[in-house]
Structure 1
Amino acid sequence: MIKFWQNKRFLKDMLIIAIPIALQNLITSSLNMVDTLMISELGKSSIAAVGLANQLFFFYSLIIFGINSGTSIFISQYWGKKDTENIKKVLGLSITLSAIAGLFFTIIALFFPETVMRFFIKEPMVVKLGSDYLRIVSLSYIITGVSFAYSIASRSIGRPNMPMIVAGVSFITNTIFNYLLIFGKFGFPVLGVKGAAYGTLIARIVEILLILYFVYKDIEPLAAKLSELTTWTKDFVKRYLITISPVIVNEAFWALGQVMYSVAYARIGEEATAAVQVSSTIQNVFFVLVRGLANACTIMVGNKIGAGDEDESYDYAIQFLAMSTVAGLVLGGILVLTPDLTLKLFRNLDADVYDLSKKLIMIGGMFYFIRTFNATLIVGVLRGGGDTNFSMYLEMGAVWLIGVPLAFMGVLLFKMPVYMVFILVSFEEIVKAIIGLPRIKSKRWIKNIT
């Protein structure tokens, strides 16, 4: 096997796909950071409210990621065969399922926001602020689902630049309207957290309009008529659902596990919730490179399997795992050594929130290389290879049998501070790596699903 730094074709293909995806993820994470920075000016109640309210969107976003991550397996392998007819059919299915999921979550957030907020926390001010935010931002959920379907499909056929450009415009739009509406600048009303919700909604509308424009102007494999998107046979739908359902279940239960972590942290208090929101925002910005690698891995491994090059798909998998581990060690080291530097961005944090955030960032950095390895192993290799059932059992088992029980034991039984609970939760990553590596070496994850 040629090492990744010696394989020029591998590096070229990887960079063409990974860099735009990483930049798009950087823009998205930066958008979350800008939101958190602006909202932090309003105090810890607002930070906690928006952070907890967005747990519902986080849950929804992981479900649509599951739908479209599963779809990407098909599109990548069909693209390896240059089968554009079936690409359009699969895209239609992913748009439909994403929109249905969006409608479900819109109804919950629009009509039952107080119930959602009280699930996490009991403080009346946090519940009120979070409910106000949810009612408005819920109107963006269906739009987000459709946008996500087109963006993932565009990446999967080797056109990652379009979603990257659109994400950049969305970032600028959201930032401008957040500034105008949160603080009431240039004659706009002072809306606080409601302003942040309106900023998100406006940005999502701009995003979907741009995506549709670019797709139907320049990306022919995705520029489908309604009939091409919806001409499905029973066998086609069955094969699609059999493959993607483990991915959807995986993401849904993994996301629910993350939500349960938020519930556990919220039991510690408002300060712990705000600190988790701040530290997670910073860590997610650092994670963009690894997301780019993992998504590039899904596409490149899937392309090779679809084209019948199974031995090369295994070599690609090993090289991606090595790269993500090295990236994790470097990025984790930076997190451990520079928490004060990154936290300077948050000027008005209370002293207790600042101290907790610093500890969480440093601990997160120590476990970072394992987290980056697992992200590529599960999202890139196992899913790219079509081994969706094993990836589902691995991730769900680690979260629900290890992470969630340890989180609530730490909070309720041992009364630990939030940073110690975070250490307990991180043991799920160690278990995933120990179980996942032998599966990679066995090559049993290589499955041609097309």
Structure 2
Amino acid sequence: MVHAHISEKRQFYQTLVKLAIPVSIQNMISSSLNLVDTIMIGQLGAVEVAAVGLANRLFFVFILVSFAISSGTAIFTAQFWGKKDVQHIGKVMAIALTLIIAVSLIFSFGALVIPDLVMRIFTKDRLVISNGSTYLRVIGWSYLLSAVTMLYAFILRSMEQVKLPMYASTIALGLNTLLNYCLILGHFGFPALGVQGAAIATVIARVIEAAIILVSTYQKRYPAVHLSDFLTIPRVLIKQFFVTTLPVIANEFSWVVGVTTYSIVYGHMGTAEVAAVNIVNPVEQISSGVFFGLASAGSVMIGNQIGAGHEKTAYVYAKRFALSGVIGAIFVGGLIWLNASRITSVFKVTPEIRMFAVNLLFVLSVVLWTRVFNTINVVGVLRGGGDTKFSMYMEIMSIWGVGVPLAFLGGFYWKFPVYWVFALVSLEEVLKMAVGLYRMHSGKWIHNLTHLAGPQKIVCEQ
């Protein structure tokens, strides 16, 4: 019995490593695309850093909505894969792809047609608005490809095909770095295009990344969407898709609007504060992205177990993922604390901006473990178990009941420095952690979505 338990744990961690490491690497690389832009734009000045950072807030909102759709889709595909029901993976993807295209067109319109209006939401600085609008008019062409790439990456992960998205992102990062060097600063005979050059480089990198994933998916005959899938979607699947996925979209939209509200508060505190936050944002994304691999692996492994009918195993997996994430995040937070000054030293900014950024990094290092727990619990455990409505309510309560009010109080009423406002905002993570921990231990988050609508259960086609 003891030997069997040890063997089971070994198998668990082997699968975790196989899934989590490539996903973590891919997320670090994807986050690094923005970090590379920020570092190279940082050589131009604080205005350019602020402009690109604020312009990317539109992409941030867009990619979070796309993430919600992709994440909701992966809940189904992971459970169908665990049940060995390949037929309905393409049908779920057909629903998701239709939704992804519609959302992409809306956000592309904002970037390409009304960029000035978008930038005015975040700042009143005319120079920042002008530079940001220039960036948006180019980067907007990449939105659709970015969303489709994300959807296919999520589906591949849910079927334990994690290396292809990692390779595609690695190639994209290398290409983006090279093109940034050429087009932002004007090397190897290329013109120095500044923020416009950064946008062009990123668009080209995203095109190549999408081409690699899409071509390889169909060449290798991985389960994916085909034209026939759009014509043969069962109504019960459409209904269940939206019942499960809409709370995920509402969850992510609520979260992203909340985070965007934080950015608006920072933006109206001053250009120095915005520049400092934008320096820290990529560090935050990378440090969190390290652990997103755990959350993604959790969603896949837990979903597979639930689809296969092994609910007790799914519950054990949830506890293991949460503990692993917290231990790792405490370690990474310590590294950020020790290297805060070194991280900010690569940016050519004023001493005031550097001081703000260092203190922001100190706060991030302290609260990182709570954020990581919440990411693993929401994305990996609760969503992996199909518990999307509870996740939505928990997110809305913590952000809009705690985070946003404290951001306005700290930034506008109490007039705190930006790093103390950042600390106040982080208290919403503490509330979310307490509620989420209770839900995880209750076991009420486990829902088998392959048993669709009881008597209308989908039967695998022969």
**TM-score bin, normalised by smaller chain:** over 0.9
1:331 matched to which residue of 2?
Answer: 332
1:139 aligned to 138, 141, 146, which one?
A: 141
Structure 1 residue 368 displacement after superposition: 1.1
Unaligned 5+ residue runs, structure 1? none
Aligned residue pairs: how many?
Answer: 448
The one-letter amino acid of 2:41's match is I
Which residue is 2:406 aligned to? 406
Q: Distance in 2 between matches of 1:289 and 1:22?
A: 5
Question: CA offsets per residue over residues 95-146 of structure 1, 9 Å max, x none?
Answer: 2211111100001111111111111111110000000101110011111111
1:174 alignment counterpart: 176
- The question of whether the paired residues in 1 share the 8 Å contact of 2:315 and 2:443 is answered with yes
Question: What's the counterpart of residue 202 of structure 1?
Answer: 204
Contact kept in structure 2, 1:85 and 1:228, CA below 8 Å? no
Q: Which secondary structure state, in structure 2, belongs to the residue aligned with residue 203 of structure 1?
A: helix
> Which residue number corresponds to residue 53 of structure 1?
55
- Aligned ranges for residues 202-241 of structure 1 at < 5 Å? 202-222=204-224, 224-241=225-242
Cα distance in 2 between the residues matched to 1:20 and 1:291: 11
Contact 1:71/1:91 (CA < 8 Å) preserved in 2?
yes
Query: Structure 2 vs 1, CA of residues 156 and 183 (structure 1 numbering), >3 Å: closer, same or farther?
Result: same
- Aligned match of 1:248: 249
CA spacing shift, 1:45–1:3, aligned 2, 3 Å: farther
AA in 1 matched with 2:329: G
2:33–2:202 CA contact under 8 A, matched in 1: no
Give the match for residue 158 of structure 2.
156
Give the residue type in structure 1 aligned to 2:22.
Answer: P
Cα drift, residue 3 of structure 1: 9.2
Which sections of structure 2, spanning at least 5 residues, go unmatched? 451-462
Offset at residue 25 of structure 1 (A): 0.8
Counterpart residue type for residue 61 of structure 2: F
Higher mean displacement: 19-28 or 179-188: 179-188
* Distance apart, 1:225 and its partner CA: 2.6
Report SS of the residue matched to 1:300.
helix
- Relative to structure 1, is the Cα distance of residues 204 and 192 closer, same or farther in structure 2, using a 3 angstrom cutoff? same
Deviates more, 1:9-18 or 1:28-37: 28-37
TM-score (norm. length: structure 2): 0.95
For residues 146 and 230 of structure 1, do their structure 2 counterparts lie closer, same or farther at Cα, with a shift above 3 Å needed? farther
Q: Quick one: distance in 2 between partners of 1:100 and 1:283?
A: 30
- AA of the residue aligned to 1:378: V
1:306 equivalenced with 2:307 (yes/no): yes
Counterpart CA distance in 1 for 2:300 and 2:257 is 26
Deviation at 1:423, TM superposition (A): 0.9
State the alpha-carbon separation in 1 of the partners of residues 99 and 353 from structure 2: 39
Counterpart Cα distance in 1 of 2:7 and 2:360 = 33
Q: 1:362 matched to which residue of 2?
A: 362
> d(CA) in 1 for partners of 2:223 and 2:75?
16
1:65-144 maps to which residues of 2 (within 5 A)? Answer: 65-144=67-146
CA distance in 2, matches of 1:42, 1:105: 28
1:387 alignment partner AA: D
Distance in 2 separating the partners of 1:242 and 1:18:
28
What is the CA–CA distance in structure 1 between the aligned matches of 2:136 and 2:172, rounded to whole Å?
Answer: 20
In structure 2, distance between residues paired with 1:259 and 1:175: 27
Q: CA deviation at 1:436?
A: 1.1
Q: CA deviation at 1:234?
A: 2.1
Equivalent residue, structure 1, for 2:279? 278
Name the aligned partner's letter for residue 288 of structure 1. G
Q: Structure 2: which amino acid aligns with 1:181?
A: L
Which digits, 9 at most, give the CA deviation of each residue in 1:202-248, with x for residues without a partner? 111111111111101114312x4311244212222111111100000
What does the per-residue CA deviation read over 1:25-72, in whole Å, with 9 as the maximum and x for residues that have no partner? 111122221111100001000000000000000000000000010001
Q: Which runs of 4+ in 1 moved over 4 A?
A: 1-6
In the alignment, the residues of structure 2 paired with residue 11 and residue 141 of structure 1 have an alpha-carbon distance, to the nearest angstrom, of 36
The one-letter amino acid of 2:87's match is E
Look up the match of 1:431.
431
8 Å CA contact retained: 1:95, 1:145: no
State the alpha-carbon separation in 1 of the partners of residues 171 and 39 from structure 2: 19
